[in-house]
Amino acid sequence: MRQVDLFERFSEGQGTGYVAFTLLPDGQLMVKEKGFLEDGLHRSERFVELLSRDTHLGTYLDTRFPDSSFEYRGRFDRWKFDFNVEFLTSGHIFSVGFDEVYCWR
């Protein structure tokens, strides 16, 4: 299980998206950004950096994205299950993933 804090991002001319802070088992926060342009078909997703657990998230967002505004969407717990199958004759690998999410907003 991983805890995730989610902030919706609003930015003039750069579309919308979100920034997620995921608590990792070692106590660090992984920062993930996802952006959408107006048509919704052009998306970008990237893992930005690792932060210490005591980082103030609002201050981080204001500093990193000075031209954006944010709305906190809440914390949720995520359980992720991945199943991988490899065909030995061809070397092809197939993966299926499932998420179970509980929101605490």
Nearest of 25, 21, 9 to residue 57 by alpha carbon: 21
CA 27, chain centre distance (Å):
16
Residue 36: its pLDDT value, please? Answer: 81
* Type of residue numbered 31: V
Q: How many Cβ atoms from other residues are within 10 Å of residue 4's Cβ?
A: 19
Domain boundaries, the chain: 2-78
CB 102 within 8 A of CB 92: no
Token pair for residue 15? 């579309």
- pLDDT tens for residues 12-64? 766 688 999 999 999 999 999 988 876 666 777 888 889 999 999 999 999 98
| DSSP secondary structure of 82-102 | EEEEE-TTT--EEEEEEEEEE
Please state which of the ranges 32-36, 95-99, 100-104 shows the lowest mean pLDDT.
100-104
Tell me what the pLDDT averaged over the chain comes to: 86
